[in-house]
Structure 1
């Protein structure tokens, strides 16, 4: 059995999609799984043992490019896939498997994909409240799964595989000591300050942690680098903090995160990476809700002071922070983090 997955385009979604790959391999251990996704995803996919190979999607997110999609599909015909599973809900994401003439094409109906998909599923969002459930459901025949309650339990959560020599090399590359506890911060968020815990709170928390003889490592993309600099500038002990935002490739960030004792994070893609690395983590939520895409880990603690989903792009405060995140105080996060670390150490 050979299966092509059309993967998602965001870090968090790609991480959660691993539950589908793990489920497919559990059901059919000899299955070969190829994943077509943006080139940057290869850093994640290479650490998923279930994936046979990643195929770079050369078409940018949002681009229709019908002729390119036809050519890609035509080239894939030689791979002789038995099935394609299309995870994005867009019309265009279903075109390549159709052009590739893959016999069975599975996915949720999405944008009216009749004909493009011949194993079409009608999504009842109330029946599948979690994104990971919607992904995993596609591993099973549609007549067997009508709601999340029908899914075999427990769901196989994402689990990245990282080699020790990769970790050692990443620490050496960035001159990070391996003989002191490392606490990772992921202070960025894709949609801006409204989903971020304030930088001054991160700074205050960092100083509390440094007093416990630990170092702080800040992770993120290039656009998160200024946030990391602001955190260090507002710390009393800024010399005990290393800002790696914008300095690492994704695979290097994954390797360093795996060396951390614990992670404090906003609702972000790196939160899902840390969860898949089985790191104790404290996830800070504001307007976005953990009800749909929570960290998939028994070692995660979510702190949120409001309920429901709030479609907020700009927060209340001058810096764009949302009041519900401002109201989460560093002392509360520090206490939650310390208790979590102790609990996880006792359970190991």
Structure 2
């Protein structure tokens, strides 16, 4: 059986979708799985052994472009027995429909009757996103309920030789930090400061860790470089040598390789948080208005800190200075260090 997955557009969601691919291989042992996703997700897919091929989704997030979707679907005709559509949007269901894939499975979403012919409408019975993904691996009538559905945690393959090559590319930066054990910081967040632990708290934590003999490596995209510099420059001149800001300097493959070498990671709710979890790194995950009940990092080596209760709070800008959310401001560096110590001891 050949299965086409219309994958999610975000790194964190793509990581969680790996649990689906693992379950598909159990339910359909001889299946071949291809995933259509944006190019920035391809490095992750190449590290998931269950995936045969990653197919580029050339249309940007939010672009409708029906004619292009028709052409993409036409090119895929007669290649697949089943499609699983992970996004909830109407437009995401067009390509499998135009490809005339016999079984087109997904959640109800935006009025997709007809486009999907194996439509599931009980999404709210599965409170976690990863549960909703994995449920799509099952035939109707055979889907375990949320309490019984088994989740295989996402993981990423890492090759020693490739990691060594990546380390060589950044050897000058790490040599300046005297090759100390590294704690990774992931201070960025896709939707701005409301989801970020304040940079000054990261800086205080960095100071405490450097005093203990660690170095700090900051990961993120180019737009996270500024907050990385805010963390680094808040340190003393002597301590700055032990804080390496790589935000915007690595591609996703390099970031995965370098995170795999970290002793532990401290992160906001972000795509890199899910990558750190998939790499099995001891991880302190900091949540504010987003919900760890819906999209938690999937690992046994995680301490989640959230000081407010309830589900997702939809805010783009926080209620405090510099756009931070008060619930994240209230998480003190000493609290994070205490939870990190527990992980490292375990």
Give TM-score, length-normalised by structure 2. Answer: 0.96
| Counterpart Cα distance in 2 of 1:120 and 1:339 | 44
| Counterpart Cα distance in 1 of 2:276 and 2:49 | 17
Structure 2: any 5+ residue segments left out of the alignment? none
| Counterpart Cα distance in 2 of 1:124 and 1:200 | 40
| Counterpart Cα distance in 1 of 2:200 and 2:267 | 14
Equivalent residue, structure 2, for 1:346: none
Equivalent residue, structure 1, for 2:110: 111
The alpha-carbon deviation at position 26 of structure 1 amounts to 2.1
Three-state SS of the structure 1 residue aligned to 2:323 is coil
| Counterpart Cα distance in 1 of 2:222 and 2:101 | 39
The alpha-carbon deviation at position 17 of structure 1 amounts to 0.3
Pair 1:252 & 2:251 matched = no
The alpha-carbon deviation at position 98 of structure 1 amounts to 0.5
8 Å CA contact 2:22–2:152 kept in 1: the answer is yes
The alpha-carbon deviation at position 339 of structure 1 amounts to 1.4
8 Å CA contact 2:7–2:35 kept in 1: the answer is yes
Deviations 1:114-135 (A, max 9, x none): 111111101341x100000000
The alpha-carbon deviation at position 317 of structure 1 amounts to 2.0
Equivalent residue, structure 2, for 1:330: 333
Equivalent residue, structure 2, for 1:342: 345
8 Å CA contact 2:123–2:132 kept in 1: the answer is no
Equivalent residue, structure 1, for 2:199: 199
Three-state SS of the structure 1 residue aligned to 2:241 is helix
Written as runs of structure 1 = structure 2, the 5 A alignment for 1:56-95 is 56-78=56-78, 80-95=79-94
The alpha-carbon deviation at position 316 of structure 1 amounts to 2.1
8 Å CA contact 1:284–1:303 kept in 2: the answer is yes
Pair 1:100 & 2:99 matched = yes
Three-state SS of the structure 2 residue aligned to 1:4 is strand
| Counterpart Cα distance in 1 of 2:6 and 2:269 | 24
| Counterpart Cα distance in 2 of 1:327 and 1:95 | 45
| Counterpart Cα distance in 1 of 2:148 and 2:99 | 32
The alpha-carbon deviation at position 190 of structure 1 amounts to 0.7
Three-state SS of the structure 2 residue aligned to 1:115 is coil
| Counterpart Cα distance in 2 of 1:180 and 1:29 | 44
Structure 1: any 5+ residue segments left out of the alignment? 344-348
| Counterpart Cα distance in 2 of 1:296 and 1:218 | 22
Equivalent residue, structure 2, for 1:162: 158
Equivalent residue, structure 2, for 1:319: 322
Three-state SS of the structure 2 residue aligned to 1:162 is coil
| Counterpart Cα distance in 1 of 2:221 and 2:122 | 34
The alpha-carbon deviation at position 3 of structure 1 amounts to 0.3
Three-state SS of the structure 2 residue aligned to 1:77 is coil
- Structure 1 stretches of at least 4 aligned residues deviating more than 6 Å after TM superposition: none
8 Å CA contact 1:5–1:84 kept in 2: the answer is yes
Three-state SS of the structure 2 residue aligned to 1:319 is helix
Equivalent residue, structure 2, for 1:138: 136
The alpha-carbon deviation at position 146 of structure 1 amounts to 6.1
The alpha-carbon deviation at position 147 of structure 1 amounts to 3.0
8 Å CA contact 1:144–1:150 kept in 2: the answer is no
Deviations 1:222-250 (A, max 9, x none): 00000000000101211101111000000
| Counterpart Cα distance in 1 of 2:123 and 2:153 | 22
| Counterpart Cα distance in 2 of 1:310 and 1:85 | 29
Aligned length: 339
8 Å CA contact 2:27–2:138 kept in 1: the answer is no
| Counterpart Cα distance in 2 of 1:301 and 1:37 | 30
Pair 1:36 & 2:36 matched = yes
Written as runs of structure 1 = structure 2, the 5 A alignment for 1:200-279 is 200-236=200-236, 237-279=239-281
Three-state SS of the structure 1 residue aligned to 2:89 is coil
Give TM-score, length-normalised by structure 1. Answer: 0.95
